Amino acid sequence: MGKGYSVEEIREKLILILDDSVSGMSGVEISEKIGINRITMSKYLKVFAVEGLLRQKNIGNVTLWFLEPGQESFNFPDDYFKISPRYLEYLVKGTEDQIYSLIRNCLHSGGTVNRLVLEVIFPSIDHVQNLYDDGKIGASEQNLLMTTISKSLQIFNQLQVVSDPKKNIIVMASDAQSRLYSEAASAVYHSDGWKVSHLGDMSSAINVLFDLDFQKLIGKIWKQKPGILVIVIFSKTDEGLNFFADSINPIKEKFGKHMKLILYGKVSKKTKINSDLTSEKIGDILQWSQTVSQNLK
């Protein structure tokens, strides 16, 4: 690699030299300014174009390169503190394009999905819910903002990750309010190499036949029983956690010790629910899942 630059350094230099270039620059000009040979630079330009950092325009025999609008470079981990307030500002007052550019810029700059979800997405979901609960926004605006957050998460899910066939996880929500939390957690699991089956809001499946239906699903997605299967339930109520835990625990007994059940939600002290882990902290749940998968023999 030219002058020993890392991919992040090349990306940062590209942003700097193309930021003020209204007319674009050729690959030859870019390679000269950065100090990388033309063939190597051409490969990087094509990769960055696929990532959405650059766009190209052919004029005759010359290919000119431009930054996609809204590109910015960050320095992680130092800049994580900047992202959450900016994301919230764009979410409430800005445009969807600004939000998606911010997420892509963070990923281009080496930000991790885990920290972006934990420090940006989860707090934003809470913030939107609080705005609605306080009467500052209506149901229509709440749905709009939640949908925008969901689209942000799709950017993480589009990242090419090689999943480990021994790390299997089913994520679901027991109610509509918990759906986005489950979606956010699924994005982190995906980035960590888990084979994720995200079921979304399963409130419509709360009936006496759920256990039979769910067991059939497990038989399809965990057919050869490789490694471990973790089931994570997100719920805003004790009732939701109770129903799914009571339905899944007998299935766990049939499939053995390599199936685990995690419950995410606030459980009253009077309520006793059987699970491998119950927590209100998403960071603890993600860490526990990773530890269990690493300790699997």
Q: In the prediction, which pLDDT does 228 show? A: 96
Report the SS3 class of residue 264.
strand
Assigned token pair, 248: 């899944």
**What b-and-e string marks burial along 166-185, b requiring 16 or more CB atoms within 10 Å of the CB?**
ebbbbbbbbbebbbbbbbbb
Domain 167-294 in CATH 3.40.50.720: no
Q: In the prediction, which pLDDT does 16 show? A: 84
Q: In the prediction, which pLDDT does 3 show? A: 59
Q: In the prediction, which pLDDT does 2 show? A: 46
Report the SS3 class of residue 286.
helix
Q: In what order do the strands lie in the sheet with 167-173?
A: 195-201, 167-173, 228-234, 259-264, 277-279
Q: Which residues of the chain have pLDDT under 70?
A: 1-4, 297
Helix (H) / strand (E) containing 240: helix 238-255
What residue spans define the domains of the chain?
Answer: 2-67, 80-157, 167-294
Q: In the prediction, which pLDDT does 63 show? A: 92
- CATH code for the part of the protein at 2-67: 1.10.10.10
- CATH code for the part of the protein at 80-157: 1.10.1240.10
For the segment 105-128, what is each residue's pLDDT rounded down to a tens digit?
Answer: 899 888 999 999 999 999 999 999
Q: Calculate the average pLDDT of the chain.
A: 92
Rounded CA-CA distance 170/164 in Å is 14
167-294 matches 80-157 in CATH topology: no
For the segment 166-223, what is each residue's pLDDT rounded down to a tens digit?
Answer: 999 999 999 999 999 999 999 999 999 999 999 999 999 999 999 999 999 999 999 9
| Torsion from C-alpha of 78, 294, 219, 185, nearest 10 degrees | -20
Rounded CA-CA distance 167/291 in Å is 11
Q: What is the number of helices (H) and of strands (E) in the chain?
A: 12, 8
Q: In the prediction, which pLDDT does 49 show? A: 87
Q: In the prediction, which pLDDT does 296 show? A: 77
* pTM exceeding the 0.85 threshold for the entire prediction: no
Assigned token pair, 43: 């490969």
